Structure 1
């Protein structure tokens, strides 16, 4: 049986998305989600295809990875392949050898769900663990009630500057631009996403969220959620997160999940206030040089 590692063309990214959608279910550990690729689409169609990796055996996709940065790959595998030894050993080689085109030399990291045989093999190769992250989960079986009184609006292309302004402030970065919103909406799978904004009484944007469905009966994802620095501590983060959960329920999602650094105490508290339950901490695997 032949295992093939490849980087898809822009037209082939849909195959990776389809596999990720199929693999999502409420009992699965936190893992790469179609929405992660959707959010990456803010950089453009070709740029998104260039950071995706697939591993196929006899034509079937068994693993999907996405380079979140040149030194960090986020990945998951088919549910029936979590303990597949041939796949795990191939992944270790491809992740360890720069010439395979996944990760470079030097210090690199891998995000992969709990339970993979890959983790056991990385232990044997001397890989360590990085800083802890907290996965959070909210069931959407019951109606999502919003009692905040906060004005929530859809954030379309006309509000692209609001989207960028809030994210720049929330994450203390200059990177988000108006183009983020346009490129994100150009993704072929954006029809199953919602972008929302919270506004104060003067009409100023205070918080934004984008949520991504993986299809009816499957968990949705929050990616990203941010509160403008000038409006923190006033309940806008909770309100926009609850609104995002409600939007996912309308799309048919069975639950909603998110993962944030455990050091982000305020973020964890906001998600808990929005009805999320914190799950056991997880950590990326890291090879330090």
Structure 2
């Protein structure tokens, strides 16, 4: 399930497309293990191919995208809206739920027509990787399996509710999307200060940053910008055409960090919510 969903998502990544579900999102979810990831993926097929892929990211959020050439298809939009809006079909439960999907699709229009509403804004950001990326100015190392705990510890210290562990790093790295990913750590002297994982979708396609964090004891020293620059350089080395990230618009500090690392904010996006 993971492999074929990730393969479809790779093919749909283009710089002229709106922000959407990325194979790196599936790769990052793989930290919960193969079975949990398989249970969280939703695939829709039509005409002998995959036409839509979703990731149930928690109990109430479906992160979702549609094949670019099928986004105006009325019949597909109705089928998807019926499946996602009906709890008995098992895609999303009853009650308050959320759907993240690309802007400008017939599916989104249909969901609004059915009474779904916009939720809080998110800011996607993009950095073109054609020109070289400037030096981050700090020591940055690529972290492999033998030092997984170094990366995992920084992530845990960067996010208050993080459950990321060495075992979960290995579970993440065992998934097929990680074949096109790097985990990096920036150091403050001998201390691991910031971490990032970057996910390529293949040469000439946008890559994804997921996640980036700065250890709580090393904030305010520029390590967020430094590790983001290192991540952008890593994606460029992997052949990515651009680097993408999306963060809540309310997280002004994160938006400022990405801007400082050469990212440009794209138009805000909103999940759709059904109360």
2:235 is aligned, of 238, 242, 248, to 248
1:205 is aligned, of 179, 189, 192, to 192
SS of 2:155 mapped into structure 1: helix
For residues 175-199 of structure 1, give each alpha carbon's deviation from its aligned partner in whole angstroms, at most 9, with x where no partner exists: 1111121111111231210000001
Q: TM-score, normalised by structure 2?
A: 0.98
1:92 is aligned, of 76, 81, 95, to 81
Q: Which position in structure 1 is the counterpart of 2:103?
A: 114
> Structure 1: how far apart are the matches of 2:2 and 2:31?
15
Structure 1 gaps, min length 5:
1-11
> Structure 2: how far apart are the matches of 1:189 and 1:135?
21
Per-residue deviation at 1:174? 4.5
Q: Which position in structure 1 is the counterpart of 2:129?
A: 140
1:284 aligns with 2:271: yes
> Structure 1: how far apart are the matches of 2:35 and 2:195?
26
> Structure 2: how far apart are the matches of 1:186 and 1:114?
32
Structure 2 gaps, min length 5:
none
Superposed counterparts of 1:173-212, under 5 Å: 173-201=161-189, 203-212=190-199
> Structure 1: how far apart are the matches of 2:167 and 2:33?
9
> Structure 2: how far apart are the matches of 1:246 and 1:170?
22
Q: Which position in structure 1 is the counterpart of 2:66?
A: 77
- The structure 1 segments of at least 4 consecutive aligned residues displaced by more than 6 Å after TM superposition are none
> Structure 2: how far apart are the matches of 1:283 and 1:111?
7
SS of 2:148 mapped into structure 1: helix
> Structure 2: how far apart are the matches of 1:182 and 1:14?
17
SS of 2:229 mapped into structure 1: helix
2:41 is aligned, of 49, 52, 72, to 52
SS of 1:69 mapped into structure 2: coil
Per-residue deviation at 1:282? 0.6
SS of 1:66 mapped into structure 2: strand
Per-residue deviation at 1:164? 2.2
